[in-house]
Structure 1
Amino acid sequence: MCILETQLESARVEALAGTLGFDNSYAVISQGRSGGRGLFWNNSIKVEILGYSVYHLDVSIEEQGTEKWRMTCVYGEAQTHLRHQTWTTLKNISTLSALPWLCLGDF
């Protein structure tokens, strides 16, 4: 599960894992009172962090009995005149892997 706009420090996001019923977590900290992403998963799923930035969290996911795939959680730039930065990030990371790709977010 990926949560966008956490507005929390990474330690607080990661502490939510048990509360939400997950074994593992990873957080990209917020910038002041905006942004932030939290990713939560159980031990039955193998997650590898491929990269992250202010705008995204990119991971590969491997579940037993299925092929590995890639998920990117995106929090787009709120200021419309800066949204090109989000799209540039997505264009750049889209070429980094040949895995099937799911992109989720707030654009």
Structure 2
Amino acid sequence: MLGDTIGPLSGSSRCSISDPCGRSHPRRRDDDQAIRDANARVDRALRAGALALGATVEIDGIAELWYDDRDTMTRALASPEMKALHADGALFIGKIQSYLVEEKTII
């Protein structure tokens, strides 16, 4: 999984991120209240955990991309569609911190 924490452009408000995402991304437009509630719970947990560790929290969103394998991820990240997505995001996202996470099954 590739995960990103997202912060607004300097001087921008949170709606500068949520409004463009809500308008331009089809899956986001179709989300129902359950998804918004889940996002709020994740947001509260992330902020609480970071604050407990003494961090300042400037996270306005989290994006996750899941791939079947590393090669698929590499191809997707190099695609014209991903480049267009990043160009669009640069219009309203100020800071992105990416994390690469590999799923492990522990039994």
Greater relative contact order, per chain length (Cα 8 Å cut-off, separation 6+): 2
Q: Which has the higher helix share?
A: 2
- In the superposition, the TM-score normalised over structure 2's length comes to 0.30
- In the superposition, the TM-score normalised over structure 1's length comes to 0.30
Q: Which has the higher strand share?
A: 1
